[in-house]
Structure 1
């Protein structure tokens, strides 16, 4: 049954991006059609921005309480990233559309040729993308339900606390920390806040899952296309029955040259869309991981809060790792793609063709590197460095506490 439901997410017009575009459209970021839904989704985005502002107001009000401020900060930073992802995707809709249309148009034209190597490589990275997408969606879904039900678990975790909450000795557990112009710790105000926070968590989780999955799938596309280009270059002079003639050779060289140029062009567009968002995320992620780790080791943190923080921390690290790992894969593949030219039968060709092959090899030396702002690259080494930063911040906070 699950397989049948998942198959409905496929789109023949977008062979690779069907599920991710469904997610983006469901959460109001991908808006190919104007109309009432366009207005409603943008109102949701505006509500998210206002909610984030209320979190910063609350953070200022509770700044004297270190533990409460850290708990607020860890969630507020993630909410800020959610708002930035949603708003930038809507504002840069045209550029996202250019990348999406390029990916789908190129794949459809390649699949029409019925070439076995092409089909195998496209099928391989498509299956991989589906696995990553659904795994990440499940991870975000688990995080969303953990955040929503954490207050209920804390409420039921101890009969003593249960009674203290009922008689007003201690406040009811909150899901997130945000400012409201009314009493929010009990009564009808508490339930109003609980419902709003639940909707915000669900909505924000959908934004994170859709945006990140789409970005990672697009990175996988560029990695797979570079692999395909390298495989094609290996067969540059071979048509299955011997060497191809001069005219066909030159046509292939031009085609592979243009293929790589288009990959460079649209990878730069994608990087320009992701880089400002990820620059902010990399900075904030260090603080969020540090704050979460501090809460996890604080003695006053309850068992349910530790479960919530631990799951939240895992989601943060997984999110960062996905970007760095796939950015590293694209960079590594772009470094290796020119080897396909030199593994071909270039040595059997004349001097005129060899010059063109040399030019093609020079073009393929241009690498694709995704960045997070002007200072940081999306590589595994960056991921390790961020973890080191987070640990340094955590050690500093722990020493100050002692």
Structure 2
């Protein structure tokens, strides 16, 4: 059977990270051209753009409606700084995970196991396409909003921000306009690439649980004692490696997910509120719709694949019972008992061990977003 290369699934994400300055040639950044490129691009487009927007919020702070019109985008953009930081901080860990995924014990051992993985891969491609499409729509309508509504004649920028110069005069206006477009694109690409990478890591853990379950069902097809014992020991080692990989990948993204969920909850609520005060079928309306769908899909990807890890790992004990364990030698049956006890607790992907990535969490986030929306709507109505 041809070797299944897991890294091929991640090559697009890795390629994007290289372009964004988040994937140095070695395990860490060194004093070279790529590090200089990374520093300049991240400082200019991610940190710089967020800094100018935060200063602007300080000036408009008392006005709730104006803040709501600005902060629904600013909060997720601020989160990208955190995502960038943790990608850089955990670079050695990420590089090691990329090495680990192509180890022999993680490879599918039959065509049926390869086919077992395909539905999850197909779903990831489809949901990623939706996420990137909606994000591209949000970036497009953000960039063209002043042009489409005619406010470009008044030298209005795509997003309100403070600059240490007069951005309403030419050519500073045109330069600042292009700068904001590059910043939108850079920040969105960083966020989506990180989200896709996290989804792939969770997909990988879930796929390995499927492969392990398939192997466990076949360990006692032969009556020979050593044959069954060797296959069983191989499954135990595989399970240990799955747990180790899941823990390592969770170390990378648990803080990201924790903050992501809180920011997404408020952003969705604020965006829904903005839709109620925006004229339908305008460029701003389509911007809000695209942005809101992108945020919902973003957290859905986290929760879906985290939920898949829990469901598939909880099927490991059942897979043992589906094997022909009655024919196993008494020595192996004793080992099976201890292994079953160890597998009773499924693998759960957590955010700082405070809550887990699951569909139940996704529903709670949507309910929280609705509460934000209701609060803002009530406050505006009373006003």
Q: If the length of structure 1 is used for normalisation, what is the TM-score?
A: 0.86
Distance 1:122 1:185, change over 3 A: same
Q: Is residue 142 of structure 2 the alignment partner of residue 147 of structure 1?
A: yes
Instruction: Report the CA distance between 1:66 and its aligned residue.
Output: 2.5
Whole-Å separation in 1 of the counterparts to 2:79 and 2:72 = 11
Whole-Å separation in 1 of the counterparts to 2:193 and 2:278 = 36
Whole-Å separation in 2 of the counterparts to 1:285 and 1:13 = 30
Q: Is residue 232 of structure 2 the alignment partner of residue 249 of structure 1?
A: no
Match of 1:206 in 2: 189
Match of 1:39 in 2: 36
Structure 2: where are the runs of 5+ without partners? Answer: none
Distance 1:270 1:343, change over 3 A: same
- Residues 229-244 of structure 1 mapped to structure 2, 5 A cutoff: 229-238=212-221, 243-244=222-223
Instruction: Report the CA distance between 1:311 and its aligned residue.
Output: 1.0
Q: Is residue 307 of structure 2 the alignment partner of residue 319 of structure 1?
A: no
Match of 1:181 in 2: 164
Whole-Å separation in 2 of the counterparts to 1:139 and 1:22 = 21
Whole-Å separation in 1 of the counterparts to 2:69 and 2:104 = 46
1:200-219 CA deviation, whole Å, 9 max, x = no partner? Answer: 01111211121111111111
Structure 1: where are the runs of 5+ without partners? Answer: 1-10, 156-161
Distance 1:151 1:376, change over 3 A: farther
Moved more, 228-237 or 176-185: 176-185
Q: If the length of structure 2 is used for normalisation, what is the TM-score?
A: 0.90
Native 8 Å contact 1:222 1:267 kept in 2? yes
How many equivalent residue pairs?
Answer: 373
Distance 1:248 1:91, change over 3 A: same
Match of 2:112 in 1: 117
Instruction: Report the CA distance between 1:265 and its aligned residue.
Output: 1.0
1:293 to 245, 248, 272: 272
Q: What root-mean-square deviation, in Å, do the aligned CA atoms of Structure 1 and Structure 2 show?
A: 2.2
- Residues 129-144 of structure 1 mapped to structure 2, 5 A cutoff: 129-144=124-139
Whole-Å separation in 1 of the counterparts to 2:242 and 2:191 = 26
1:300-356 CA deviation, whole Å, 9 max, x = no partner? Answer: 788221111111111111111111111111111111122111100001223222111
1:121-179 CA deviation, whole Å, 9 max, x = no partner? Answer: 34554444444444433333233223222222122xxxxxx6xx74xxxx444312221
Whole-Å separation in 2 of the counterparts to 1:125 and 1:394 = 34
Distance 1:26 1:302, change over 3 A: same
